[in-house]
Amino acid sequence: MTTPVGFVGLGAMGLPMARNLLKAGYGVRVFNRTVARAEGLAIQGATVLTSPRAVAEQAPIVLSIMADDTALEAVALGPNGILAGLAKDGIHVDMSTVSPDASKMLAQRYREQGVHYIAAPVFGRPEAAAAAKLWICPAGPSEVIERCRPLFNAMGQGVIVVGEEPHLANVLKLVGNFFVISAIETLSEALTLAEKSGLKADTVLEVVKALLPGPLFQGYGGRMARSEFVPPGFVLRLGLKDVGLMRKLAEQGSAPLPIADIMHEHLRAAAAKGRGELDWGAVITVVRELAGLAPGSTP
């Protein structure tokens, strides 16, 4: 008998993740606010349902990946939410980038109802999601995480267990994304400095390849040098949201985070210029403009 699993949220990341669960042989029950996003999965064998609650009523484990705290709470809570549909000992695994405070609140609400909430944010762009090459970082009770591990293995290349408290996974995700935005800001400034000084980007990228191997600097460096921001791996407006969460976490912990402050201003400026749906590497356009250069290939 096919094991049922639920999936809520079929965005740029969720759609390929759900597709990999289908490929692994699971009976996938899905909900997405925009029903058209689920049509391809339905053709491949997924069951499309009308609410998050309906998904949870048909699957003992429900995964979700949403844009922000508000979107997560909307699918988790309320009369048509996941919590309302989960049977006793059911599991909701949220894989979104959201605030630690949101996870704390949801974990408490789920415990009160005799069900489980796991935070398991992911690292990787949509192409990594499609190739089942994500890094998945769950936090929650160890025995509950183990029940979910086969699902994680179907979607990712590795699992990094963070701890027993779900919100710690969200802290790790924000710390990890801070590495990414720091690299993007560094590349923006370095490539701009090089051009202003008469040095070709290709030469800079050769140094990046030699000294900083790996997908972060090489992948973003190449795309940013070529002004390739479409299709986005992660849209700039959500990057602005994430940096806001980082700054809030830093303020709560009295930790200095000056790079995030700089990046926040640059992201906000790019969004104000209508670039919010581009890849967040498009922050280089603002740095270039501050240096008196053309922004690049932007709308």
Catalytic residues, by residue number, are 173
Tell me the C-alpha distance between 75 and 83, whole Å.
9
Q: HSE (CB half, 13 Å, CA atoms) of 120?
A: 31
Cβ atoms of residues 181 and 239 within 8 Å? yes
Which residues lie below 8 Å from residue 77, measured CB to CB, with a gap of 6+?
83, 106, 109
Q: In which element (H, E) is residue 210 found? A: helix 201-211
Contact 266, 188 (CB under 8 A): yes
Q: Which residues of 118-147 are buried (b: 16+ CB within 10 A; e: fewer)?
A: bbbbbbbbbebbbebebbbbbbbbeebbeb
